[in-house]
Amino acid sequence: PSAKLSLDDVKKLRFVEDVLTEKPGETTLLFGPHSLDKTTSFYAEALKTWIIYGGHAIILEQNPTPFSENVLNCGIGFIKANQPHWSRWAANQVKHTDRADIVNPQHPVFAELSEDDMRWWNGDSFLAHCYLSVKTAGKRDTVLSRIGNGLAEDELMPVQYDYIEPGYSIIMMERNIGKGAILVSSMLVGEKSSNDPIAAKLLANLLAFY
């Protein structure tokens, strides 16, 4: 699934089922950009079991499709959402975001990065084209990055919401499942890692952490 990334030190697998032969506690599965398909959906429950036994999975940005609406049956999916024109996270007034908030700056994923790095990748372009849909939130979940959805119709000032409330859209989160974990990101880390230094650093941090 990582075949769409140019990573020399990553073992590329031809078939999803090959993952199941790897030792869970010693392996990290990396799904490259837009790689979720009918095959990964077919093996979703088996891959989730692999994670439960200690495997780790990183899911990079995906298109919102039936194959990505419930990633590996873990309750996290990819969705499209409009950002209000007054949202400071989407000054471009479109369905994309050009900046993001770091919720957990101490997390190793953000090592040597700051919130100033989470904006205008490549100088003028987007960080994400879609967002994460979380069916249910658990105590073992960690939201790493999100954007604000602007003010609600009855608000004059921004209000602090719980992360599963509609005041925010999540774009990176980590979920512990059994002995393992899955990290899902809609940031364009995979697409832009070859031409944007911040995206490249985020990808390097992801691989180093997992």
CATH entry 3.40.50 includes domain 16-209:
yes
pLDDT of 27 strictly over 70: yes
Which pLDDT score is estimated for 111?
95
Are 208 and 108 contacting, i.e. CB atoms less than 8 angstroms apart?
yes
Q: For 161-178, how does the pLDDT look when each residue is reduced to its tens digit (9 = 90+)?
A: 444 445 578 899 999 999
Q: pLDDT tens for residues 44-63?
A: 999 999 999 999 999 999 99
- Residue the block writes with tokens 């392996």: 27
pLDDT of residue 85: 46
CB 179 within 8 A of CB 119: no
Q: Give the span between the Cα atoms of 136 and 184, in whole angstroms.
A: 15
Are the C-beta atoms of residues 168 and 145 closer than 8 Å to each other?
Answer: no
